[in-house]
Amino acid sequence: MSLTPRVSEILSYYEGETPGTKANLARMLMAGRLGGTGKMVILPVDQGFEHGPARSFAINPPAYDPHYHYQLAIDAGLNAYAAPLGPLAAGADTFAGAIPTILKMNSANSLSRQKEKADQAVTARVDDAVRLGCAAVGFTIYPGSDAMYDQYEELRDIASEAKARGLAVVVWSYPRGGDLSKEAETAFDVIAYSAHMAALLGANIIKVKLPSDVLADKEAKKVYEAQSIPRQTQAQRVAHIMQCCFAGRRLVVFSGGAAKDENSVLDDARAIHEGGGNGSIIGRNCFQRPRPEALALLDKIIGIYKG
């Protein structure tokens, strides 16, 4: 595999990583229709854990089948497919080598009554990712939760083992729990802080939600306003998130979030592209649409990232 100059440049940012980890980052960056551009579109399907099967798949029944998601990601020409252990294992033989995969190592579920102490259970091992031929492991942290320090320590151990085994590490950094209001979970300053913490914890790829223009922390608000950090447009907010991830030296992909209309999804992609983000990690807005519509939407998103 011959790397493009852009991918070689991105890999140069990851000093101190093992050759295996860099090789797997390259494997994802060179895959699919965006291969070589430094942009990524990833299909994540962990919503069955998070929201339950009917809420996730009843709107598009073929999506109950794990093979459906593998095939959707492959046919759309995506960079990677991310899922928990069960769905990945259910298609690991059939689709071996067809697309880079990310093993989601921890999950929550909507039956839990946790609020202030929002947490996730570790549901897989690094050995599983190696056995299934994954390019990376994925792990969620909840900055703001009363359980966040334990999560950081879990991530420390998982990331250390994964990188020693030559895997990359993708961190879902979602502010939640503690004293955070619903509005604060997507506030500009809080998302920026959460993305930066993921970088500090050693994430190779960082996944965050698109931020609103709200400033939720009173001490941070003083600085944002005194320094006139731009936040009026989504592209400006994306640019600041990238700045907070080591001045753009870390790959950052932005969550597609809850199901929305096509124009909103495409507007998000345009803002991410304009703001210098590395791409989208988009689940429900794809697999909850009929397959032809999902493929058409992903084609448009890839077109935006191709410029």
Single out the residue of 141, 100, 121, 101 nearest to residue 49, CA to CA.
121
Detail the DSSP E strand segments found in 156-256: 168-173, 205-208, 251-255
Given 22, 163, 207, 209, which residue is catalytic?
A: 207
Is position 117 annotated as part of the catalytic site? no
For helices 291-306 and 262-274, angle between their N-to-C axes, nearest 10 degrees: 20
Single out the residue of 41, 113, 8 nearest to residue 282, CA to CA.
41
Pair of tokens at residue 155: 């991530």
CA distance linking residue 253 with residue 272, whole number of Å:
9
Single out the residue of 40, 7, 13 nearest to residue 26, CA to CA.
7
Adjacent-strand bridge partners of 42: 80, 281
Tell me if 45 sits within 8 A of 38, measured CB to CB. Answer: no
Tell me if 182 sits within 8 A of 258, measured CB to CB. Answer: no
Q: What are phi and psi of 197, to 5 degrees?
A: -65, -40
Single out the residue of 245, 254, 255, 211 nearest to residue 230, CA to CA.
211
SS3 169: strand
Pair of tokens at residue 94: 């059939």
- Residue linked to tokens 């509005």: 183
Catalytic positions are 207
